Amino acid sequence: MNTDTKQAEQKKIIHRLRRTEGQIRGVQKMIDEDKECIDIITQLSAVRSSIDRVMGMIVADNLKDCFENPQTDALDQAGKIDQAIAMIIKK
């Protein structure tokens, strides 16, 4: 992955994390304001979805990098791919 592409992907990830951070602050405010449980849970579900999306973006970027810039050691390369797959399945 070239430097410009990598920086663009990192920028997307940081943007999404900042948005998630705002959602979490919103949940804190909802709790402080004694909002309805269902509304808080709905927002927490949105936060979880956002975090899952960031995890997927990071794993996808790493897999893409593995294929575009393979390791010279085939076992090391296979290990990295297996690790990425395990992270996806664990989710």
Domain ranges of the chain: 3-90
Structure tokens at 7: 């920086």
Band (49; pLDDT cuts 50, 70, 90)? very high
Domain 3-90: which CATH class? mainly alpha
At 3-44, the pLDDT tens digits run 788 889 899 999 999 999 999 999 999 999 999 999 999 999
DSSP state of 1: -
Question: Look-up: residue for tokens 């909002």?
Answer: 35
* Sign of the torsion angle spanned by Cα atoms 85, 79, 67, 7: positive
Structure pTM?
A: 0.77
Region 45-57: mean pLDDT is: 93
Which is more confident, 71 or 39? 39
What length is written for the chain?
91
The answer, yes or no, to whether residue 91 has pLDDT greater than 70, is no
